[in-house]
Amino acid sequence: MSDPLISLTAVRRRFPGAEVDTLAGVDLTVATGERLAVVGPSGSGKSTLLFVMGLLDTPTSGSVALGGRDVGTLDDAARAALRREHLGFVFQDHHLLPQATALENVLVPWFADGRPNAAARDRARDLLTRLGLGDRLDHRPEALSTGQRQRVAVARALVRRPRLVLADEPTGSLDRARARELVDLLTRLQDDVAVVVVTHDPEVAAAFPRTLRLVDGRLADAAVAG
Ligand SMILES: Nc1ncnc2c1ncn2[C@@H]1O[C@H](COP(=O)(O)OP(=O)(O)O)[C@@H](O)[C@H]1O
Ligand SMILES: [Mg+2]
């Protein structure tokens, strides 16, 4: 495998009060530029896995390394900085700020580090334009369709040129045609951007060259698991 970007080793996650591990020993390496789909039924731990990969949740045990660095050794601020710099997250529910315009929403990942500069604004405008929202820059989420909101969320995930895009059921709220467009977009990102999508939609998974299935808190080869 080429250059590993993110590696999970024996990752276990048990939520407080739960009697079973949601993640029960996950080993996974995603290479630079790799495109991966993770499937599994509702409640199988897909979002938990993505949150751990996105440094938004901490495993109960096991380790996560991003770019060869064990993130478990970092404090919250360092982890957050790493997340902002290298990761883009597309949530199932777009999580846009209702009071902000499409353009401002895309720029949100920059605000944590101060005001976005002109280059960041240009990139945000350019992304929205490429996603067919060039005439919607100043619209608030309420004035956008579901598909348009999800595209704003994708632009926000891409604005800082992440090395890894994590998408949690990104097509869940879209109709078939819009879902295909979004999958097309995610699978055609620049070659060096890795993408991990979790989905329960077999058609979405089929668009990705590698598919794994979450079963009983562990990852299995989707082809073998059926
Ligand atoms: N914040 C949480 N607190 C307690 N239990 C949780 C939490 N998040 C997820 N779980 C539990 O972990 C399991 C997997 O959830 P999740 O990762 O959301 O699955 P999926 O995304 O595949 O539907 C579920 O049983 C859920 O109840
Ligand atoms: Mg989920």
pLDDT at 224: 44
Does residue 111 have a pLDDT over 90? no
Q: Minimum-distance ligand to the CA of 46?
A: 1
What does the alpha-carbon distance between residue 49 and residue 67 come to, in Å, rounded to a whole number?
A: 18
Any idea which residue has 């800082």 for tokens? 160
- State the pLDDT confidence band at 223, using cuts at 50, 70 and 90: low
Write down the pTM of the prediction.
0.93
pLDDT in tens, 175-185: 888 889 889 98
What is the whole-number distance in angstroms between the Cα of residue 110 and the centre of ligand 1? 29
Ligand 1 binding residues, C-beta < 6 A:
15, 18, 22, 40, 42-48
- Both structure tokens of 37: 């789909």
| Residue among 48, 56, 166, 216 to mutate when testing ligand 1 (max atoms within 8 A of CB) | 48
Does residue 219 have a pLDDT over 70? yes
Q: Where are the domains of the chain?
A: 4-95+162-225
Ligand 1 atom 3: residue of nearest CA: 15
| 113 or 117, greater pLDDT | 117
What does the alpha-carbon distance between residue 198 and residue 77 come to, in Å, rounded to a whole number?
A: 27
pLDDT in tens, 54-91: 999 999 999 999 999 999 999 999 999 999 889 999 98
Specify the ligand 1 atom closest to the Cα of 214. 22
Contact 86, 67 (CB under 8 A): yes
Mean pLDDT of 116-140: 94
pLDDT at 153: 95
pLDDT at 226: 42
- Both structure tokens of 10: 């024996």
Any idea which residue has 């995930």 for tokens? 157
What does the alpha-carbon distance between residue 35 and residue 196 come to, in Å, rounded to a whole number?
A: 6
Residues with CB under 5 A from ligand 2 (ion): 46-47
Mean pLDDT of 91-111: 91
- CA-CA-CA-CA dihedral for 176, 180, 182, 183, to nearest 10: 130
What is the whole-number distance in angstroms between the Cα of residue 175 and the centre of ligand 1? 25
Residue of 122, 150, 125 lying closest to 138 (CA atoms) = 125
Contact 103, 137 (CB under 8 A): yes
Percent of the chain with pLDDT over 70: 97
Q: At the fourth CATH level, which superfamily is domain 4-95+162-225?
A: P-loop containing nucleotide triphosphate hydrolases (3.40.50.300)
- 46, with CB counted inside 10 A (0-12, 13-18, 19+), is buried
